[in-house]
Amino acid sequence: MNLTREQGVLTIHGHSLLDIKEQYGTPLFVYDESLIRNQCRRFHETLQASGLTYTISYASKAFTSIQLFKLMQEEQMGLDVVSEGELYTALTAQFDPQKIHFHGNNKTDHEIEYAIEAGVEYFVIDAIDEIERINTIAKRKNSTVKAVLRVNPGVEAHTHEFIQTGQEDSKFGLSIKHGLAIKGVKHIQEASHIDFYGIHFHIGSQIFESTGTIETIQIVIHWLKENNIDIKVLNIGGGFSIKYTSEDISYPIEDGIKAITQTLIDTCNEIDYKTPEISLEPGRSIVGEAGITLYEVGTVKSIPETNKYISIDGGMSDHIRTALYDAQYELELVDREDNQTENVTVAGKLCESGDIIARNTALPVSTKRGDTLCVKSTGAYHYSMSSNYNQMLKPAVVFVSEQGVREVIKRQSLEHLIANEVQ
Ligand SMILES: *Cc1c(COP(=O)(O)O)cnc(C)c1O
């Protein structure tokens, strides 16, 4: 995200983050709406230029919000959902059900029924028994669904540090090597109320280059050709990386997608296989870098010759990834520019030693109670993974663009916090 300093204070699109904090409080998620739109357009433009027929859907789990879903619809994106709740949120945003894909490794009958009733046609099937369950429900509802089968390509993420999902031993997909994938295809083709649409894979997350995806496309297309299976669509999942710190690489959308689409075209041509439509489902790369979190500094504790802890007014209830994966973040003091820095630990206020935002992170020596800290690249898997641990209230979320600042999710209220309690 493009943050600039004006009279020392960090600003976004000309709005001071201190003014935004003043109006909406902290902890607060601030998104650059223009950047989200721009990421969608980069994917569209590159895919259009490939000449392939394509669809692209946003993986809603990265950040689920009605206003974001409306924006996604405006940007011609489809939507992936994996639960009744995500689907309900999408339908409330008036998302076109025909552009919603239903995913998940354990869809309940109730969810399948709800989705079909709502007009969702596209299911990503993840297990053999799901085929019969979807078929039975579709038949009962007098409808036919399109199915894409999620396969497990058995691609180990060699030297790359992805968060793997494409290795043999995984809860996701049906293994190609063990013959489960072919069994799945046959079952779907025999099902009376399911149209076999194609194949899906998603080999991991925070992937910063395209070789794993390229290798998987080749494996899958060769496997399809050898088994005489025709598909309409190949869905290559999401997983493209973002820059959390200066050590990370933002996935090169234009070059990466060009390499991927060219591989699909070339592989199909080489073995005389009909080139399918391509589908992508990015999440993190659409919203991740577009979001930041603002916190207010509270207690500052120096342990002589040991460490300095700067505590903020949120923590693992709105920022779980450091505790969960030891994820790294960059922080900046919002209030002023000060180059005299020291390495400190920024800690949350929740009752866990692991409730840390960043270790060994450089912040101005002058950082004190009442100052504002900004944590960068928190647009994906932060709000959506937030919890009420310690009865913390879920933060508010605002979108900022050239047009101004707008609240898209209000801060949770105390009344809401106990709304389900029997008193
Ligand atoms: C999580 C997920 C995505 C999106 O992954 P990102 O890393 O956020 O791009 C796409 N497809 C599937 C099946 C997923 O599980």
- List the CATH number of the domain containing 160: 3.20.20.10
Domain boundary among 226, 259, 285: 285
| In the block, residue with structure tokens 């339908």 | 91
Residue 307 is assigned to a structural domain of this protein: yes
Same domain, 260 and 380: no
58 is in an annotated binding site: no
Q: Coil, strand or helix: which one is 59?
A: strand
CA angle 238, 183, 102 (to 5 degrees): 35
Residue from 39, 64, 80, 321 whose mutation best tests the ligand 1 pocket (most atoms within 8 A of CB):
80
Pair (362, 385) in one structural domain: yes
Instruction: Looking at the structure, tell me whether residues 317 and 230 fall in a common domain.
Output: no
Spatial distance between the Cα atoms of 365 and 306, rounded to a whole number of angstroms: 15
Beta strand 9-12 pairing with 4-6 = antiparallel
How many other C-beta atoms are found inside a 10 Å radius of the C-beta of residue 204? 21
C-alpha pair distances (Å), 149 with each of 57, 95, 141, 173, 358:
17, 24, 21, 8, 39
Q: What confidence tens digit (pLDDT) does each residue in 55-66 have? A: 999 999 999 999
Q: 39, 281, 287: which to mutate for ligand 1, most atoms within 8 A of CB?
A: 281
CA distance 164 to 215: 15
Residue 239 assigned as binding residue: yes
Q: Answer with the one of 266, 285, 304 that is the final residue of a domain.
A: 285
For Cα atoms 78, 293, 309, give the angle at the middle one, nearest 5 degrees.
145
Task: Confirm whether residue 395 is marked as ligand binding.
Answer: no
Whether 319 and 235 map to the same domain: the answer is: no
Residue 42 falls inside a structural domain: no
- The ligand 1 atom at the shortest distance from the C-alpha of residue 286 is 9
Q: What is the pLDDT of residues 246-287, one digit of tens each?
A: 999 999 999 999 999 999 999 999 999 999 999 999 999 999
Q: Does 258 share its domain with 317?
A: no
In a domain, 36, yes or no: no
In terms of domains, do 247 and 299 share one?
A: no
Residue 331 lies in a domain: yes
Q: Are residues 278 and 316 in the same domain?
A: no
Question: Are 159 and 256 part of one and the same domain?
Answer: yes
Q: Is 359 annotated as a binding residue?
A: no
Q: What is the mean pLDDT of the chain?
A: 95
Looking at ligand 1, which atom is closest to the CA of residue 206? 7
Spell out which residues line ligand 1, taking CB within 6 angstroms: 59, 61-62, 103, 202, 205, 237-240, 281-285, 380
Of the chain, the percentage scoring pLDDT greater than 90 comes to 91
Going by alpha carbons, the residue nearest to atom 15 of ligand 1 is 202
Q: Closest ligand 1 atom, CA of 285?
A: 9
Residues 80 and 200 in one domain: yes
Q: Which residue range is the domain that position 265 belongs to?
A: 51-285
- pLDDT class for 162, splitting at 50, 70, 90? very low
Distance CA 130, CA 133 (A): 5
Q: For 8-22, 157-171, 376-390, which range has the lowest pLDDT when averaged over its residues?
A: 157-171
Q: What is the CA radius of gyration of the chain?
A: 23
Ligand 1 atom closest to the Cα of residue 283 is 8
Same domain, 20 and 85: no
Q: List Cα–Cα distances, 355 to 21, 294, 302, 318, in angstroms.
A: 23, 17, 18, 10
Residue 80 CA to ligand 1 center (angstroms) comes to 9
Residue 188 placed within a domain = yes
* Whether residue 294 is found in the same domain as residue 281: no
Quick one: 319 and 413 in the same domain? yes
Catalytic residues: 351
Ligand 1 pocket test, candidate residues 36, 60, 61, 161, most atoms within 8 A of CB: 61
Give me the number of domains the chain comprises.
2
Is 282 annotated as belonging to a binding site?
yes
Q: How far is CA 17 from the centre of its chain?
A: 25
Q: Identify the residue whose C-alpha is closest to ligand 1 atom 6.
A: 239
Q: CB neighbours (10 Å) of residue 197?
A: 24
Residues 207-257 pLDDT 10s? 888 899 999 999 999 999 999 999 999 999 999 999 999 999 999 999 999
Cα 385 to chain center, whole Å? 11
Q: Measure the CA–CA gap between 25 and 31, rounded to whole angstroms.
A: 15
